[in-house]
Chains A and B, each alone.
Chain A
């Protein structure tokens, strides 16, 4: 593994080894001294062309806990606003000797281009590209599921678990990455969304779909182990995908009534940031079943694992 661009590139064993390493990283984060010398002298650049709170802070914390040097770059306030291209920015980073570039970009495929165009030598980690993929989010979701449902047993997968992903699938890179990763790990995925918010070609995805959230939470597709709510991405919506926010909320929002229909152990997940009152009510978001804050904490451990796996033994040209 040289880059992490898509969860589709991960085999079951690779995915499990990332989760196992993340488990050990999480253990180090419960110690008094959290900083490890593992990536001393390596440089990690956070290249963010899109706004982000969680992901950028999480990658920064992960790199710093492993003693790497971190350079933060955001498109706002940089030469990008003067019209600098991705290539020229990449060449600048190469000249500075970046060992890893964590990139978020509004255009799908930008990290792939960065990894394969020969502009930089370092390893590329996709931190979200357009409506394509967000692999570390899917890994931290899988880690959260495994730690809650399988007690984070090393080597365990999610075989036989059933996860519903609800909401704006069309614009969601989180949904894409999760469908691929969770299926690789043996879980079943049900996508629930209005027909307008499901992408073309959904029939080829390795999952089932439904338009009816009440049916799915009630066990219409089998008992659920987790419900993952997606954010309605208004900034990417250039047309009317549903009549009104109120109608969306009534048909596809997670509230106390729907939560009560779920099995006892089922988790409520959300990648954040949430639109409280739209796709999820405060009652659901703040309930004890909600893993939303836990997901953020797990994000640091998972990203530490990813950086460790990609940056150790780099000269061999092969990792996990």
Chain B
């Protein structure tokens, strides 16, 4: 990973902080803000909201944005199945090649994009990501999505909304609103990817 992705004050890496992996950062103040049980409750609530809003699971497609958005999308699908007994297709949508900051960023690996068999035409697509920050990832996701078809509607579900939007984008379903300073980073750990327990924490920033 590049220095730019590690630098919390870099304006070029607005969406990156939550994706920074363990073991690479200098010792900094880490403050856990969401415990495993809270994350589970937030996801259950989002699942209910999605169903309520859509009046059932009909025509829903969940698309996770790599890496942790995909894990969250699968968890959401499991909850939708538990609540409504409906099978909601899950896919992944890689947005790397649609980003507007590629020129400033060091090399980013490209993840696979896999759409469910039914495609997205006339479906209600719920984009799922871990942290909503500048909104640039979501803009890229909307562009990427338009290459695959024309969904009837696109909604956005995020685990954490940390503010500091740079584009007119908002989430339909938010696990938790976390007011943060731009100097801080929000770190999301999910057991499937990172091992250990689920946790959302705030790293760095001004320490008193």
A residues near B (Cβ < 8 Å) are 17, 20-21, 24-25, 27-28, 31-33, 36-39, 42, 66, 308-309, 311-316, 318-320
Contact at A318–B2, with CB atoms within 8 Å? yes
Contacts of B106 in A (CB 8 A): 312-313, 316, 318-319
Judge whether B55 is part of the interface by a CB distance below 8 angstroms: no
Q: Which residue of A lies closest to B4 (CB)?
A: A316
Given contacts A17-B107, A37-B143, A315-B104, 17 further A-B contacts (CB under 8 A): A20-B109, A24-B113, A27-B113, A28-B113, A31-B147, A31-B148, A32-B148, A36-B98, A38-B97, A42-B103, A66-B97, A308-B110, A312-B102, A312-B106, A313-B103, A313-B107, A316-B105
Contact at B104–A313, with CB atoms within 8 Å? yes
Q: Which residue of B lies closest to A317 (CB)?
A: B106
How many Å lie between the Cα of A32 and that of B112 in the bound state? 16
Smallest beta-carbon distance B150→chain A, Å: 12
Contact at A309–B94, with CB atoms within 8 Å? no
A and B contact pairs by CB, cutoff 8 A, 16 listed: A17-B109, A21-B109, A24-B94, A27-B112, A27-B113, A38-B98, A42-B103, A308-B110, A312-B108, A313-B2, A313-B4, A313-B104, A316-B2, A316-B3, A318-B2, A318-B106
Contacts of A21 in B (CB 8 A): 109-110
* Chain B residue total in the interface (Cβ 8 A): 21
How many Å lie between the Cα of A27 and that of B148 in the bound state? 13
Contact mask B33-56 → A, CB, 8 Å, 1/0? 000000000000000000000000
Specify which of B4, B102, B104, B113 is in contact with A38 (CB 8 Å cutoff).
B102
Nearest first, the 6 closest Cβ-Cβ pairs linking A and B are A313-B106, A24-B110, A312-B102, A38-B97, A33-B147, A316-B106
